[in-house]
Chains A and B, each alone.
Chain A
Amino acid sequence: MSQQVHTDEHRDDIGSRFGMWLFIFTELLLFAGLFITYSVFRYKNWQAFHLAAEELDVFIGALNTVILLASSATIAMSITALQQKRKKLTLTLMGTTMLVGLVFLVNKYFEWSLKFEHGLYPGSETLVEFGKGEVLFFGLYFFMTGLHALHIIAGLGFISFVFYYVIKNKVTHDNFVLLENAGLYWHLVDIIWVFLFPLFYLIT
């Protein structure tokens, strides 16, 4: 019992999770600046936003929403699996999460490519011809989904890091705050998309 106390002495799981939540708050405030911008320009250009949104493919957006939600479920379940000492299941669930993240990025790549082909990108003449509201809509679209995609990449990095630690038994059934934190980050990325989806794809 005394040995356990000794190794636990420097460990503070609640503190560690607290730190992660604080970091999540900074991410919320980061995106808040963009949501403020979106609100202001939507208010001033609601018709143009309405029209511009019709250029977006609801199907791909919905697909991305569905798979991202599912990936949140898988990483949440991976914690349960780890607590039950089912290491293989843990890794499978984590792996699924990462795979879905990659699929999300691939979808995004195709979406953006299609836009570029149609001349819709910041600074393009086609866009300027459409009008100011459209310029702002697509500026926000690319900036916000782009920033979001960067966060998906960061999340994938975080999860793969923990994936390695699970394999090496450094994250285990009784020491898994790192996995919890990676999960928290992934859920944050999911929440941001939960709002981006209706605001860009469903305002038609």
Chain B
Amino acid sequence: MIRKEAIEIVSKTLKNQLVVSANGYISRDLFEVCDRLANFYMIGSMGLASSIGLGLALKNPKKMIYIFDGDGNILMNLGSLVTIGSLKPKNLVHFVFDNGMHESTGGQPTSSKNVRIDSMAKMANFKVFHTYTKNHLESILKKINDKMGPIIILIKIERSDHISKRIDISPTLIKTRFMKTIRN
């Protein structure tokens, strides 16, 4: 499974969830697969998708917050696992698409092969799922709900040659259309 396929599978289950996607190819894949007003594409500030997601989760307890993160991204902000695990928002689902590398900067390795991100999240009070197949990912998505969080779903993915298009809407427009969906 490549990242874009995994993002497609998760996107098919989206209803009114708010999605925050990490910078790099993750946001580009999401934009290409399933652009929607309730997506916040974080194009800079690497590492902070999980923290933005936490702020949203605490202020919107009736909505599910999905974070689309990468291994490189979460490894830059491991402290956020501790803060999320301490505040325990039930409506937060943290997807980590883990290819073991910084794919959008040329495939340089991360350390996610050597230290397990899901184990660290478990220690930080997350409910943990781990998968590397499409079928299993689909069955996990059926199981999760807004009373179980914080949840982390670690999805092992393969490197791909496909590069999705750049996000061609401005950051301020990303923000204003996202905020409108929160108000409704």
Partners in one complex: no
